[in-house]
Structure 1
Amino acid sequence: MSADAGKVFEDASAVSSRVTICNAKGLHARASAKFVRLAEQFEADIAVRRDEAAVEGTSIMGLLMLGAAKGCEIEIAASGKEAEGAVSALSELVAEGFGENDPQDTAK
């Protein structure tokens, strides 16, 4: 599904979650691609916001434009049939560092 990112955040029925980017390279191209591949598996309109900038969760370029580096907080929101599952899975992906975290890095 596709929707204007701002509309997802305005939707009263939308589910959202805030999560901190924890992988060393932040929301870079490979991490964005993983996010989009996962987002596309859900029947939901998904958006991501950092500060005042909101983009569609199925846009690699949009996610890159957020410039979300390690330590940045983003908000993931979704509306639609599988909104809760989408937000949960995407939040987990981000919290786990997109599968990129070196176990030694998490101890720092």
Structure 2
Amino acid sequence: MSQAASSTDNDDGLRATSRPRGRPLTPPDEAGASSLFRTLPIVNRRGLHARASAKFVQVAEKFDAEITVTRDGMSVGGQSIMGLMMLAAGIGTTIDVAASGPQAADALDAIERLVADRFGEEA
């Protein structure tokens, strides 16, 4: 499969990409279906820290979908707590979430609810 944007892998599985913001990260798969994509604002006070990242991964793993999260050109898998923490997404920042697969839409809906609900941390 070809990559739509140039990328560099490192030993941690993180990818720095040079794709334009607002574009899906994953190219269309063999069936012709492209990734779904959302930009989500981080609204909880502590941002995407360890507990929030763990909750993100718990939600992401419930779905048959490949999830990638990008912030400022760094992309990580949505099933990696350490990767999500490395994005250093604090309050007021945004993350770009791309999903592909049979349950991509459901996965994005659930992730969007989790982020909007401040990862269940604050009233």
Paired position in structure 2 for 1:9: 25
Check the 8 A contact 1:17/1:76 in 2, yes or no: yes
Instruction: Provide structure 2 residue ranges, at least 5 long, that are not aligned to the other structure.
Output: 1-13, 18-23, 29-33
Q: Secondary structure at the match of 2:114?
A: helix
Q: How does 1:1-108 map to 2 (within 5 A)?
A: 9-12=25-28, 13-102=34-123
Task: Give the CA deviation at 1:10.
Answer: 2.7
Supply the distance in 1 between the matched residues of 2:115 and 2:27 (Cα, whole angstroms).
Answer: 23
Name the CA distance, whole Å, in 1 between partners of 2:116 and 2:102.
23
Instruction: Tell whether the 8 Å contact from 2:36 to 2:105 is kept in structure 1 after alignment.
Output: yes
Query: Larger % of helix: which?
Result: 1
Query: With structure 1 as the length reference, what TM-score do the two structures score?
Result: 0.85
Q: 2:78, 2:27 → 1: CA distance?
A: 15
TM-score (norm 2): 0.75
Q: Which runs of 5 or more residues in structure 1 are unaligned? A: 103-108
CA contact (8 A) 1:11 1:79 kept: no
User: Secondary structure at 1:49's aligned position in 2?
Assistant: strand
Contact in 1 for aligned 2:27/2:35 (Cα 8 Å):
yes
Instruction: Report the identity percentage.
Output: 48
Give the Å deviation of 1:88.
Answer: 1.0
Confirm or deny: 8 A CA contact 1:48 1:63 kept in the other structure: yes
Q: Relative contact order: is structure 1 or structure 2 higher (C-alpha 8 Å, sep ≥ 6)? A: 1
Aligned Cα RMSD in Å? Answer: 1.6
Amino acid at match of 2:61: E
